[in-house]
Amino acid sequence: MKQYRVLIDANDEKGLVHKVSTIFYDFNLNILSNSEYVDKENNKFFMRSVVDGDVDLEELKSAIENILTQEATIKVVEPKKKNIILMVTKEMHALGDILIRHEAGELDANILAVVSNYEDLGSLVEKFGIEYKTISHENLSREEHEEKIIEYINSYENVDYIVLAKYMRILTPTFVKAFENEIINIHHSFLPAFIGANPYKQAHERGVKIIGATSHFVNNDLDEGPIIAQEVVHIDHSYSWRDMQRKGKDVEKIVLSRALKLALEDRIFVYQNKTVIF
């Protein structure tokens, strides 16, 4: 018996869960788990089901499409490792956490490569037997630099996600459009309050009492794409800005890995500029 994930995004109407469940029954599929959500303000229905059995994926998808409106989006996927590429600059905390989790078998992914505009993290990545590709931005415009990165990424087949593990360059609309809803980013949650090279020092001077991190999909609004995961930790007056920075890095790496795991397990629906997560 094989497992399948059925993802449905449709206009809401009465009896949808019953209709979909009946199709599962007709195809002799067993429901292992099921989650639904209705956005009543926008009349939108979201459903994620995990089923097992023997079935033709296209036939199952077609049967579900026949009971839904044309505006519906249906995906039927067989769980398998997704292909990801990591992009980094010089900071290693988020990258190192993902590499260790991957080595430990915690992430259902194939890390195809790590791409950076600097050579600094190459020795770390190579210890895990993963290709490290340096594409320098020196003497190149942002567009020229990104063209080289896009060309490199497209040299791989079926890249599912690009993970910005503290990649500290702003992406152009061209890059974002090339990988729409496939780029996952992490940043500290001081934005927009403390912007600049050392937000933790600014936050320390202001006397903040919480530190947080946000992981989101990248769009053309800087750091304002659909949010996947967030977390905060409490601090107090005894923390130096360096203590805050260390604590912040801990939160960043945990939140990024959590967001990546959700994506790898097909638990995220992107709708307008927000997400529905099961």
Residues with a catalytic annotation lie at 223
Burial class (CB in 10 A: 0-12, 13-18, 19+), 10: buried
Residue 179 to residues 4, 108, 264, Cα–Cα distance (Å) = 25, 20, 16
- Cα-atom radius of gyration of the chain, to the nearest Å? 21
